[in-house]
Chain A
Amino acid sequence: MPPGTQIFDPGWALDNLDQIGTRIGQHLILTIFPLLIGIGVALVLSIIAIRRPRTYSPITAISGLLYTIPSLAAFAVLRPIFGLSLVTAFIPLATYTLLILFRNFTAGFYNVPKDILEAAEGMGYTRRERLLRVELPLAVPLIISGIRLATVTTIGLATVVAVLGDSFGGLGQLITEGIQTFFPTKYLLGAILSVGLAVGADFLLVRFEHWVTPWAHAKSRAR
């Protein structure tokens, strides 16, 4: 850092709002799409695990193993196949969400009280109706807490995607460029925005959870 430069220069930030906005947008794409893929896959896997409990351990083991692969190594392996594309970025990011999501989703389903399942069966719910109208809604609080964890993790991890290049690098790009050019304002901004994004997303998900599960928060109104 050349002597005399400010550590953080708000003026630069104001002058480069376009660039910052683009990076935030890219970062959101890098977060949301892998998450959606992860949620879809984890939901299917957890329903399989609920229906066939013997599959639970192998699925946990495999998603745990995938979780241990260093992201840089994953990019290196996928790059020859998919090139410097979003697909190369999405695959590892989605994979990393699986362990967290799968564990929370299955816990959500397992936590549905047995008497409620029995009541539903006794009243003539078909299996499908029971899954969609009873088990899934009751699993939502734990499903969303899994999504919150996965979201925060993915927002952090997505900064690494900067190694794949400038065209979709997200906030990681600001950080890498800031470090390479010895320009603290840029990497600090990248880091702060990344943290802010994570906190903001978490807050929104908490609000969302309250909105979709009013029943889970209704106790205070009891007489």
Chain B
Amino acid sequence: MVGGAHEAAVVDFDHVTKHYDAGAKTDGKGTPGAVNDLSMHIPAGKICCLVGPSGCGKTTSLKMVNRLIEPTSGKILLDGVDASTRELTELRRSIGYVIQQVGLFPHQTIGENVATVPRLMGWDKARQRERSEELLGLVGLDPAKYRDRFPSQLSGGERQRVGVARALAIDPPIMLMDEPFGAVDPIVRDRLQNEFLRLQETIAKTILFVTHDIDEAIKMGDLVAVFQTGGILAQFGAPLDILAAPASSFVARFVGQDRGLKRLSLLRVSDVDLRPAVMAAPGDPVADARQKAAIAHGQYLLIVDGDRRPLGWVSEHDLPADGVISEAMANPVSPTVNKRTTLKDALSMMLDADVQTGIVVDRTGATQGLLTIEAVARKMREGEHAPAFDDAAAIIAGEAADGEDGDEGERDPGEADLAAIELGS
């Protein structure tokens, strides 16, 4: 069992409370770091981001999982087993732990650092070494180059990666990450976040991830737990749901005025219904093209090459009376996007372009359909729910969720299939 592949574990907080003795520094809102009757269920293999202002109890909640802090009352169940009944060092060794300052051991080489828990568990030297090289490769550090260096010889971003590799050493079913990317600059942080999300696709651990940055929480979390001062769980759910329907005015304020834009950064082109493009290739008779445009009520034709790669637009009015379509008629194309492009990026590209329609292409560059600003706006509206709290009316400019029926006619049945390849992939 030692070091074998572990399945991800389910983590349950069951009415967990942590009180600190009064008389410390109270500010009238309860002691910083206290947690008040926290219950939440984190399914196996998901990233759950704990987010909130400082002193809201998010780090306390995290540290109660590996019992660096013991709860005052309540239970934390790992795969149904009460963490407090497990032997302390065994529990901790079975949980990956990454902290903001990384906490690499300066006196050990990178290879030795990564092999920390395997060494504690008594693996033989060869196996420790093999595992640490494998892990360095996994986090994108060349083992031959980094293995024998000391932490002081690495950049902040490299150290963070080593921290992640070290936490993964015995393939733990759970990882705790306490602001793991908090100490690096924004560009490096963004890269580390993306790398980590890619890594998670393969390792599929149950991860508790503490951050004070709502954008990071939304980006990283399958689930987001918003804490408010006093250790109260203000809302727990999928990031899109929290952005669409904040449960309280606190959550609405915390996620920010721009939560609509934040949702756009979570949605992808594949989430939106595409409009079919009216296409013609050089050499097609103008008359045919004109007829196609008329059927689709379109004013513009997209000229594409033999592989359906976009060449440019031509207005129906600019078409000659007869003859054939030629490449010279094409005006420069609009921005091209693909199914994985976020709506935020796509919208930004469309706003910058002359023709505010995005051409959606596949991997080969072949046209698949068109993305319009109207379609993006429609998608945004359908996610909004009725306000769940009193003063929400001011924040949500009330628009019902069903305003898309009028455009149904334009939708190509084939595009619905394409639009379906999303979240799961």
Contact = CB atoms under 8 A, between A and B. Distances in A.
B99 A123 contact: no
Interface stretch (B101-109, B258-266, B367-375): B101-109
A31 to B, nearest CB: 28
Contact of A122 (B68, B90, B153): B68
Contacts of B149: 218, 221
Interface in B137-166: 149-154, 166
Contacts of A123: 92-93, 97, 116-117, 120, 166
A113 B102 CA distance: 11
Interface in B108-153: 108-109, 116-117, 120, 149-153
B91 interface: yes
Contacts of A115: 99-103
Query: In this complex, which of B91, B99, B107, B166 has the most chain A Cβ atoms within 10 angstroms of its Cβ?
Result: B107
A129 B120 contact: yes
Given A124-B117, A215-B150, A218-B150, A118 B99 contact: yes
B99 A124 contact: no
Contact of A119 (B63, B103, B120, B153): B103
A108 to B, nearest CB: 12
Interface in A188-223: 213-216, 218-219, 221-223
Interface in B318-347: none
A57 interface: no
A208 to B, nearest CB: 15
Given A119-B97, A119-B103, A124 B92 contact: yes
> Which residue of B117, B150, B154 has the most chain A CB atoms within 10 A of its CB atom?
B150
A214 B150 contact: yes
B357 interface: no
A138 B151 CA distance: 13
A116 B152 contact: no
A223 B152 CA distance: 11
For chain B, give the interface size range: 20 to 34
Given A118-B68, A214-B150, A218-B152, A125 B103 contact: no
Nearest to A116: B103
Given A115-B101, A123-B97, A138-B107, A219 B153 contact: yes
Contacts of B120: 123-125, 129
A121 B68 contact: yes
A140 B116 CA distance: 20
B101 A126 contact: no
B107 A215 contact: yes
Contact of B107 (A125, A213, A223): A213
B89 interface: yes
Nearest to B152: A219
A178 interface: no
A119 B160 CA distance: 13
A134 interface: yes
A64 interface: no
Contacts of A121: 68, 92
A137 B109 CA distance: 13
B120 to A, nearest CB: 6
Interface in B253-277: none
Given A122-B68, A123-B116, A126-B89, A137 B107 contact: yes
A126 B97 CA distance: 16
A122 B150 contact: no
Contacts of B154: 222
A113 B152 contact: no
Contacts of A218: 149-150, 152-153
Given A124-B90, A221-B153, A113 B101 contact: yes
B228 interface: no
A130 B154 CA distance: 24
B64 to A, nearest CB: 12
B97 A215 contact: no
Contacts of B89: 124-126
B101 A122 contact: no
29 contacts: A113-B101, A116-B103, A116-B104, A116-B106, A118-B99, A119-B97, A119-B99, A120-B105, A122-B97, A122-B99, A122-B176, A123-B92, A123-B93, A123-B116, A123-B120, A124-B89, A124-B92, A124-B120, A125-B89, A125-B120, A134-B105, A138-B106, A213-B107, A214-B150, A215-B152, A216-B106, A218-B153, A222-B154, A223-B153
Interface of B: 63, 66, 68, 88-93, 97, 99-109, 116-117, 120, 149-154, 166, 176
Given A123-B92, A138-B106, A221-B149, 15 more contacts: A113-B101, A113-B103, A115-B102, A116-B103, A118-B103, A119-B97, A119-B99, A119-B103, A123-B93, A123-B120, A124-B117, A213-B107, A214-B150, A215-B107, A219-B152
4 pairs of A and B residues whose beta carbons are closest in the complex: A119-B103, A124-B92, A124-B93, A115-B101
